[in-house]
Amino acid sequence: NMNKYLFFLMFGFVNLLFFFSCNRKIEKNFLTKSDPIPEEYNLPSSKISASPRTKNVCKDKMNYIPDPEHLEYTPIKTIRVNFHIMRDSKGQGQFPDEAQGRVYVKRILASTNQKLRQNAKMFLPKRNNTPVLPQRYNFELTPLPDDPNDDGIYFHNDDDLYYMISSGKHTNLYRQDVYKKYGVQKDSVLNIFMMGMHPDSLLSKTYNKSMIGIAFGKWTKVASWWYLMKDKSWKTAEEIPFNDHWSSQRLLNHELGHCLGLSHSWGGDSCDDTPRHPNCWNYTHNGSSCDSLISNNIMDYNAHAGAWTPCQIGTVHKNLANKSYRIRPLLKRTWCHLDKSKTITIKKKEKITWLGAKDLEGNIIVKDGASLTIRCRVSIPPNGKIIVEPKGELMLDGAILENDCGKTWEGIEVWSVGKNRGKVILLNDAKIMNAVNPIEVTGG
């Protein structure tokens, strides 16, 4: 019995030791001094030393393609837009019923965003394996912030500026008068002008009514939607015939694609996944190349436009992440508010490298046994932080950590349990900016 008693006593003692060893307190401290650079990273043959210069890596559009297994690494970007419906001085020409015009604008925008959520497989090259990826950007109707009666949809009656002529001696396709006179919130919102047709053109029996548009970087003008409608008697968005709004979104997504930095893809646009082709509108069934070489890319002129390639998507996100790019000020600054539900977690055994700039909306957590290498600019939201758990590793290789909102973020919080501690390494002049808890660099 004594032996049995001693056995249970020892068993309980061992369990008690095990309990306390497994429940050692986690120490959490904001890093104020970077870890010394391990010797292996300073060797000429090391992977880090041999890697491309950070500034070139950060400019490579291919490094901005969304990762289908980690879409959270590419937060959705929202571009703010407004609409202007141009009419003649009597309020005629297109959408004389303003309520109907407002319904139509909202339906077009909904269709535009719907198509962005429904990327299609590329037709070309034939039998291709081009991935179909989500675009991770959208457009949002944006009224004046201080006017409760403003909805971001404007009607302008102007005999001189309401129409668009694309060719001939009276062409005004490239003129920007309408934007200069009627543009609203030009510094923060992308303006879309819905232009009419010249009344003299409409009187001609040979005039070809076709959808046309042109992009000017921070604004665009498009024409002909109203005149090509099959039905103008509807009152609600649900009553609008499918083709009347779906064809409009095709033109709008094309012109907005230009604003976001995309080029026509049939003749070479620096993307290997958009092959050259004859730019046929549709299948001809006459033995020509247009019997088979039909594109459905959004940046071509074709009847099936609805596909964006990975390279095109990467181009858009590279531009939107560029703080000097023309469209950047027109973005909704979703990264200027901490949303903990958008926290990014690098899981145990994952070894992740970010090769493009990012604007994050949540915290970053590098778990025990995980590794995250950052090579470019990353904006952390106000009051956000990076947590490096015990045995986790964060490597900043030429990276810039900042807050892009003129505010501060908390800094890098390193966790430790006993001798196990999170590791933070700074290489190649990495910088920590706008942090409440700044870091002193000890080497590198």
Question: Residues 249, 353: one domain?
Answer: no
What pLDDT score does 12 carry? 58
Count of structural domains, the chain: 2
Q: Does the pLDDT of residue 258 top 50, yes or no?
A: yes
Structure confidence at residue 283 as a pLDDT band (50, 70, 90): confident
What pLDDT score does 421 carry? 95
Question: Residues 40, 89: one domain?
Answer: no
Question: Residues 40, 138: one domain?
Answer: no
What pLDDT score does 168 carry? 83
Q: What is the mean pLDDT of residues 426-432?
A: 95
Question: Residues 267, 350: one domain?
Answer: no
Structure confidence at residue 273 as a pLDDT band (50, 70, 90): very high
Q: Is 265 inside a domain boundary?
A: yes
Q: Is 333 inside a domain boundary?
A: no
pLDDT single digits (tens) 287-341: 777 777 889 999 999 989 999 999 999 999 999 999 999 999 999 999 999 999 9
Question: Residues 162, 43: one domain?
Answer: no
What pLDDT score does 313 carry? 99
What pLDDT score does 124 carry? 93
pLDDT single digits (tens) 390-410: 999 999 999 999 999 999 999
What pLDDT score does 50 carry? 41
Q: Is 17 inside a domain boundary?
A: no
What pLDDT score does 44 carry? 46
Q: Does the pLDDT of residue 22 top 80, yes or no?
A: no
Q: Is 278 inside a domain boundary?
A: yes
Q: Is 3 inside a domain boundary?
A: no
Q: Does the pLDDT of residue 432 top 80, yes or no?
A: yes
What pLDDT score does 4 carry? 56
Question: Residues 196, 288: one domain?
Answer: yes
| Phi, psi of 191, deg, nearest 5 | -90, 130
Q: What is the mean pLDDT of residues 79-99?
A: 97
pLDDT single digits (tens) 193-226: 999 998 888 888 877 788 899 999 999 999 988 8
Q: Does the pLDDT of residue 441 top 70, yes or no?
A: no
Question: Residues 111, 210: one domain?
Answer: yes
Q: What is the mean pLDDT of residues 12-17?
A: 54
Domain extent for 366: 23-60+338-432
Domain's final residue, options 254, 287, 321:
321
Question: Residues 315, 363: one domain?
Answer: no
Q: Does the pLDDT of residue 387 top 60, yes or no?
A: yes
Q: Is 332 inside a domain boundary?
A: no
What pLDDT score does 94 carry? 93
Structure confidence at residue 368 as a pLDDT band (50, 70, 90): very high
What pLDDT score does 10 carry? 61
Q: What is the mean pLDDT of residues 227-234?
A: 88
Question: Residues 284, 421: one domain?
Answer: no
The CATH number for 85's domain is 3.40.390.10
Q: What is the mean pLDDT of residues 248-263?
A: 97
Question: Residues 202, 292: one domain?
Answer: yes
Q: Does the pLDDT of residue 24 top 50, yes or no?
A: yes
What pLDDT score does 83 carry? 99
Domain's final residue, options 293, 321, 349:
321
pLDDT single digits (tens) 37-73: 766 665 444 444 445 555 699 999 999 999 999 999 9
Question: Residues 52, 179: one domain?
Answer: no
Structure confidence at residue 386 as a pLDDT band (50, 70, 90): very high
Share of the chain above pLDDT 90, in %: 73
Question: Residues 186, 298: one domain?
Answer: yes
